[in-house]
C-alpha cells in the first residue's frame, strides 16, 4: 500500500522534499514506514531517530499500524511557542 508522508523542518531539508510516498506491506507500522523513508532518502537516517510521527494529524507511536490512504507526518523536535 502507498502511504503519503509529509516532512517538516530538518526532516524536510534532509529529504529535500516536503512530501513523499512510501510503498509498504499491508499492516505495516510507523516504524516500518520510517525504515522505508530512510532507505528512500538516506540523509533522513540521521534525523529520523529524534522525530515523532503523526498519523492523520495526531501523534502516533512507532507501533501504530498504517492503513492505505493514511497521511504520515515526520515531526522533528518541536520548537514553537
For 13, half-sphere exposure in the C-beta direction (CA atoms, 13 angstrom radius) is 5
Binder of another protein out of 54, 60, 66, 70 (CB under 8 A): 54
Binder of another protein out of 21, 39, 50, 62 (CB under 8 A): 50
Stretch that binds another protein, among 6-14, 27-35, 37-45, 60-68 (CB under 8 A): 6-14
Q: Is the dihedral of CA 79, 10, 47, 2 positive or negative?
A: positive
Task: Work out whether 1 is an interface residue with another protein (CB under 8 A).
Answer: no
Nearer to another protein, 59 or 69 (CB): 59
Residue 60: φ, ψ to 5°: -135, 140
What is the C-alpha separation between 44 and 19, in angstroms, rounded? Answer: 13
Task: Work out whether 26 is an interface residue with another protein (CB under 8 A).
Answer: no
List the beta bridge partners of residue 75.
52
Binding site for another protein (CB under 8 A): 6, 8-10, 50-52, 54, 57-59, 73, 75-81
Amino acid at each position: 500500500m502507498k502511504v503519503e508522508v509529509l516532512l517538516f523542518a530538518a526532516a524536510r531539508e534532509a529529504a529535500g522534499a516536503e512530501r513523499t510516498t512510501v510503498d509498504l506491506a499491508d499492516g505495516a507500522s510507523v516504524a516500518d514506514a520510517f525504515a522505508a523513508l530512510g532507505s528512500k532518502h538516506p540523509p533522513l537516517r540521521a534525523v529520523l531517530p529524534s522525530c515523532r510521527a503523526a498519523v492523520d494529524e495526531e501523534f502516533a507511536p512507532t507501533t501504530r499500524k498504517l492503513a492505505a490512504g493514511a497521511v504520515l507526518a515526520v515531526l522533528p523536535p518541536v520548537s514553537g511557542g
